[in-house]
Amino acid sequence: MKYRFDHIAFNSTAKKSPTEADKEHYIGLEHIDSQCLEITRWGSEVAPIGDKLIMKKGDVLFGKRRAYQRKLAISPFDGIFSAHGMVLRPKEDVVDKDFFPFFMSSDIFMERAVQISVGGLSPTINWKDLREQEFDLPPLEEQKVLAEKLWAAYRLKQAYKRLLVATEEMVKSQFIEMFGNPLASIQKYPLKKLGECCKLNPRRPSLDLEDTDKVSFVPMPSVSENGYLQDVIDEEYGKVKKGFTYFKNNDVLFAKITPCMENGKGAIAEGLTNNIGMGSTEFHVLRPIEGKSNPFWLLALTRLPIFRERATKNMSGTGGQKRVPATYLENFMVGLPPIEEQNRFENIFNQADKSGFELRKSIDAIDTVIKSLINN
């Protein structure tokens, strides 16, 4: 049957002005991971400024600002939530409470949410528009059966994701074990500027390419937060040769703009068409120097949380336009290990990567099952 959204969910608009006691139980949009129903971090160092929405444990928290980010999760406790979101509760005579979060995370709902968003840089959903949207829902009994299957698949997916995180953490730990903490006052190897260990933002040479020749095009969404290129497309060189960042195979991409940098976006350029990539201007490019640096060492270094935390403190600009300047990378002091040790680290990295690849395949397969259940 078809229902208006305000017949499916109640939008709680109760607010309060936060006190110091509220800071421990505050959830902002920055605490919600895209396409993850669980919230694993929360709180603020000081009491948040401005009125916030009151939430109850079990409420569905939906980011109404930039809905394309698909930020939706279940509140783990009573507390306060960002005013850039909505606090929603299912009307259980129409929708099963366990099915409701999956319905809201479906492509059907999210695509409609994006369509009705208004505004320029930060498109936002208005309740008066959302409440009038109509959606098909299966009968309640069918929803209950679907919910059981969906939660079983979701929990399995989360278990695989935890294993994937553990694999990635092992690589970081191995880096520290082999090369030491790059911020320690005493280093295991001779200190060098990072700009001496690689070629930073190399200029594009004269390329033997026609405008109709294909090259790989890498926008920011094609660089994952766990160190890989994804969904790279081919473009005619003539269409992308101006206004984009140039790189080639084995170069390391480092996202310089907030929040991509803080989220860990970075990757080794591999499998590029005609050995050439053109991509977002928000990348710094680190090119390994033969016999001196290995791309896997450079990638692991620049993806270390401590490296990114230091980079955050060196950002310039305002608001959502803060960037890591090239001078930060150029002048970052690091102990440069012998290339043989870096190559040995690459072997460890690749072994872990094989395990990670299988885990990501399993996660993708479960995602396909979840999508088929909620979208059909």
Same domain, 247 and 328: yes
Q: Which residue has the tokens 């094989």?
A: 354
Question: What are the residues whose beta carbons fall under 8 Å from the beta carbon of 182, sequence distance 6 or more?
Answer: 301, 304, 306, 307, 334, 335
Same domain, 40 and 124: yes
Contact 244, 214 (CB under 8 A): no
Angstrom distances, CA of residue 95 to CA of 102, 167, 242: 11, 38, 51
For tokens 């290990």, the residue is 337
> Are residues 36 and 85 located together in one domain of the fold?
yes
Query: Considering the chain, what is the average pLDDT of its residues?
Result: 93
Q: Both 330 and 342 in a single domain?
A: no
> Do residue 316 and residue 270 come from a single domain?
yes
Is the pLDDT at 101 greater than 70, yes or no? yes
Average pLDDT over residues 220-228: 90
The string of pLDDT tens digits covering residues 275-297 is: 999 999 999 999 999 999 999 99
Confidence bin at 321 (pLDDT 50/70/90): confident
Residue 244 shares a structural domain with residue 360: no
Average of pLDDT values for 256-265?
91
The tally of CA atoms less than 13 A away on the side-chain side of residue 52 is: 23
Q: How far from 193 is each of 59, 64, 197, 351, CA to CA, in Å? A: 50, 44, 7, 29
Q: Is the pLDDT of residue 320 over 70?
A: no
Q: Which two tokens stand for residue 320?
A: 């959502």
Tell the residue number behind the tokens 């919910």, with chain if given: 147
State residue 1's pLDDT score.
87
Question: In this model, does residue 376 exceed pLDDT 90?
Answer: no
pLDDT band for position 122 (cuts 50, 70, 90): confident
- The answer to whether residues 300 and 252 touch, using CB atoms and an 8 Å cutoff, is no
| Burial of 261 per CB tally in 10 Å (0-12, 13-18, 19+) | buried
The reported pLDDT for the residue numbered 226 is: 82
Same domain membership, residue 165 and residue 41: no
How confident is the model at residue 319, as a pLDDT? Answer: 65
Mean pLDDT, to the nearest integer, of 312-325?
87
> What is the Cα 243 distance to its own chain's centre?
24
Q: Among the three residues 100, 115, 137, which one is the final residue of a domain in this structure?
A: 137
Burial degree of 214 (CB within 10 A; 0-12, 13-18, 19+) = middle
Q: Which domain, by its residues, includes 212?
A: 190-336
Residue 214 and residue 167 share a domain: no
Which of 193, 195, 227 has its CA nearest to residue 326? 195
Q: Are residues 35 and 123 in the same domain?
A: yes
CATH of the domain at 222: 3.90.220.20
**CATH number of residue 159's parent domain:** 1.10.287
* Residues 198 and 331 both lie in one domain: yes
Q: Which of 90-104, 144-158, 313-327 has the lowest mean pLDDT?
A: 313-327
Indicate if 330 and 194 belong to the same structural domain: yes
pLDDT at 134: 96
| 3-state secondary structure (DSSP) of residue 357 | helix
Domain end: 304, 321, 336, which one?
A: 336
- Please state, for a pLDDT cut of 70, what percent of the chain lies above it: 99
Q: Say how many domains are in the chain.
A: 3
Shared domain for 39 and 91, answered yes or no, is yes
Reference 201, options 159, 144, 245; nearest CA is 245
- Burial label for 120, CB within 10 Å (0-12, 13-18, 19+), is exposed
Mean of the pLDDT values across residues 328-335?
96
